[in-house]
Structure formats: structure tokens, C-alpha cells
Amino acid sequence: MNVYTLPDLPYDYDALEPFLSKQLLELHHKKHHAAYVAGANTALASLEKARSIGDVSRVSKCTRDLAFNLAGHVNHSVFWTNLCADGGGEPTTVLADGIANDFGSFEAFKRQFCALATSVQGSGWVMLAFDPVSSRLVTLQLHDHQDCMTAGVVPLLMLDMWEHAYYLDYHNAKADYVAAFWDVINWDDVARRFDKALAPAS
Ligand code: MN
């Protein structure tokens, strides 16, 4: 059976300071992200067992566990690669045009994204995504890892708004964490994801 594995970060644990301390990033990656990888594999194994013994009584619970943990794994995998040590600035190329077309301007997009991030109730994420149905960019605010997700959208840029993502460094100053995020965004990675979404496997 294929299993999920924790990807290495594409940089050292101290690479994103002062946005994220080494201690916070290491905990976030090695403990929190790793727990979602393990949880997804556990849910898959439970479903396999249920099939093998012909017991469907737990498949609903296991499927909810799979959705939560797999979304946690996918979201973090996108989030890590969205960041880099010398990031920031603004996107260029078609991504810049897409943002201007669908949000009015980069500044308007940034305001909307920040407002969604700072207004997450409980645990969640904010996401810039490409919707292939309407061929446009949208922002989503996820509860936990996956609630309020729209099927088929392609994540381009994600920000983790769970307390574990910032509390060690920022305490309750959520807006400071959101503001600092813009200095480490790897727009090349976001643009690559957008290019791929615009021209799927051809
Ligand atoms: Mn997290």
C-alpha cells in the first residue's frame, strides 16, 4: 500500500527567522505536520482493515479522519514550499495579471487575504486558489484543514492560522504574524503552481 511520508523542508529550520524561529518551525514540521502524515496513514490502514474483514461500521469515522489528516498533510506541504528566506515583494508575470484581474489590484488582494487570515475563528487556513471551473483566482478561508474547501480548486498560496503555527513566537498578536508572512512568500513557487494550474498535464 502506498503511504504518505513527511517531506523535508526545502530550507534549514532557522532559514525563515525572524518570521518564524527555528524552534517554532522545527516543532511545526517534526511534530505537527508529522502527526497529520501518521494520521492519514492510520486512517488508510483502518479502511484497509475494514475492507479485509468486511466490517463497514467504522468507514465513515475513518473517512472523516482521512479527510482531516490528509488535508493537514497537503496544506502543510504547500505552505512550506510557499516560503523562502529571501522572499517577499510582489508576483510578476501572469500571476500578477491574474491577481489584478480577479481582485482589482495586488493591494486589494493582500487586504482581502489578511482580513480572512486574522478573522479565522478557532483553527484554520487562508488560501489563494485557482478555480478551473470559472478559470479565476479565489480566496478561501478553511476551518480546521478542510471545512469550507471547494472541490477542484488548486491551492497556490496557503497560510496556516492554527495557533501552533505562530503562538510560540507571536503569542496572541495574530496580525503581526500575518503581516510578517508577506516578507517570506516565495512568489516563484506560487507562480509555478499557477502556471501548472492554467496548463494541466498536456
Ligand atoms: Mn500547522
CB 188 within 8 A of CB 167: no
> What separation in Å is there between the alpha carbon of 77 and the centre of ligand 1?
10
Residues 121 and 35 in one domain: no
Grid cell for residue 42 = 492510520
Q: Are residues 101 and 191 in the same domain?
A: yes
* pLDDT tens profile 65-120: 999 999 999 999 999 999 999 999 999 989 999 999 999 999 999 999 999 999 99
> Any idea what DSSP says for residue 131?
E
Residues 102 and 190 in one domain: yes
Specify whether 38 is located in the same domain as 134. Answer: no
> Which three cell numbers, joined as nine digits, stand for 142?
478553511
CA of 54 to the centre of ligand 1 (A): 35
- Ligand 1 centroid from CA 169, angstroms: 14
One domain, residues 187 and 101: yes
Distance, CA 175 to ligand 1 centroid (Å)? 17
Tell me the pLDDT tens digit for each residue of 127-165.
999 999 999 999 999 999 999 999 999 999 999 999 999
Q: Which pTM does this prediction carry?
A: 0.96
Q: Are residues 101 and 190 in the same domain?
A: yes
Report CA(59)–ligand 1 centroid distance (Å).
Answer: 26
Q: How far is the CA of 78 from the centre of ligand 1 (A)?
A: 11
